[in-house]
Structure 1
Amino acid sequence: MTAVPEWMRPPRPEGWYADDLDKLAEAPRHTELIDGALVFRLSPQRVWHTRMVTALVKSLMDQAPAGVEVDREITIRLDRWNRPEPDLLATTAPYDPSRTFFTPDETLLTVEVVSPESAHRDRSVKLRKYAEAGIANHWRVEDEDGSPVVHAYELDGPTRAYVPTGIHRHELRTTTPFAINLDLEGLVPGRKS
């Protein structure tokens, strides 16, 4: 075994803080912070995942109203010990090229496109953390035989928990967080519904 690089050692007994991520120049791209621990992407992404994220970003950008920005792979500073990185998000924050994170009060929607290596975090850990932070809408996108299936959730304010609002195949139509109409099969290159 090789020695753990010094930069990977937490700076304090309770772990890393959200602000520490901006100071870790050695950390691999897409490093997240979950409960004070650094989480690294363990394997390369599949082409399906990458293209799905790109297609969703483009589609949501085309439909977003004025004052709503859509970005990919930017962290959200949920609290002192949590800074996850959704695959994409819609925010009310004005464009700032030097930003490295958003806050829950600026975030309208988070989207996780599930990968085998991140399935548990995407389906359970992040779902709970985004809800507890007060993010109003969340989508989890699953690969079902090459077709995207969107599991949509909306925040129940008093309980700070997500309530499922639908499982969408082929098409997704919603008015939250803004009017969205997606041909899900059309997001997959080479497929038309």
Structure 2
Amino acid sequence: MNAEPTPEPADEPGIRWPVSPPEGYTVDDLFTLPGLPPHTELIDGSLVFAGPRPRFHSLMIDLLVGGLRCWAPGDLKVMREMTVVLDRRNGPEPDVSVVRADSVTGMEQTRFEAGDVVLAVEVVSPDSEARDHDTKPRKYAAAGIPHFWLVEMAEGDQHPVVRTYELDPVTRTYAVTGIHHDKLELSVPFAVGIDITAAALREL
């Protein structure tokens, strides 16, 4: 016996989801459409809404932001969850960005340009895995962002694993420079030494 198809859930009263125009959205739309959920991104002209994020995601952002701010030189600033405009149809929101200090304009600033960004960091969540592994790094590299880090939670003791990448200016692709399990120790884009053990994460 065939099961009856499950009906699609009805929209809640009063909620009107935006319908994409035929040519897709632009970054101007991203900043002017009313009622978009927090952390909405624009990828290839489509709006991407953030799903629920695990505790690891939030704590890892805190750990990296705090550590990077301790190590960053004065001409760089560390930002969390700020839109980076790559082009007219792409405005992703890295979990952490390191930007040039002279690109920071004030407390009401909502975006940075790709040319302002020295490092983009993505902490992988279940709903963002494909974008964080493929779509975003390809777009960051094509836009010329020199450094990219990908952060995931290891199985077992659930400690962070940070993969670091540097841009090849000829191919405009990222090359892996290291896989870090206990201490994130690097000399580029500036000297960094951050404890990324499971114990460090639990202390937050």
Structure 2: distance between partners of 1:70 and 1:25: 28
Do 1:7 and 1:26's aligned partners in 2 also have CA atoms closer than 8 Å? no
| One-letter identity of the residue aligned with 2:125 | S
Deviates more, 1:14-23 or 1:180-189: 180-189
Q: Residues 80-91 of structure 1: matches in 2 within 5 Å? A: 80-91=88-99
TM-score of the two chains, using structure 2 as the length reference: 0.87
- Which residue in 2 is equivalent to 1:21? 30
- Which residue in 2 is equivalent to 1:33? 42
TM-score of the two chains, using structure 1 as the length reference: 0.92
Q: Which runs of 5+ in 1 are unaligned?
A: none
Offset of residue 94 of structure 1: 2.7
| RMSD between aligned residues | 1.8
C-alpha change, 1:18 and 1:170, in structure 2 (3 Å) is same
Do 1:87 and 1:113's aligned partners in 2 also have CA atoms closer than 8 Å? yes
Offset of residue 38 of structure 1: 0.2
- Secondary structure (helix, strand or coil) at the match of 1:162 reads strand
- Which residue in 1 is equivalent to 2:170? 158
Structure 2: distance between partners of 1:60 and 1:154: 17
| One-letter identity of the residue aligned with 2:184 | L
Q: Which runs of 5+ in 2 are unaligned?
A: 1-9
Q: Percentage identity across aligned positions?
A: 43
- Which residue in 1 is equivalent to 2:186? 174
Q: Residues 119-158 of structure 1: matches in 2 within 5 Å? A: 119-145=129-155, 146-158=158-170
Consecutive aligned runs of 4 or more in structure 1 exceeding 2 Å deviation: 1-7
Question: Could you report, residue by residue, the CA deviation over 1:110-154 in whole angstroms, capped at 9, with x for unpaired residues?
Answer: 100101110000011101010000000000001003100001000
Structure number with greater Rg is 2
Question: Could you report, residue by residue, the CA deviation over 1:158-179 in whole angstroms, capped at 9, with x for unpaired residues?
Answer: 1110011111111121111111
Question: Could you report, residue by residue, the CA deviation over 1:75-120 in whole angstroms, capped at 9, with x for unpaired residues?
Answer: 1000000000110100002352111111111100010010111000
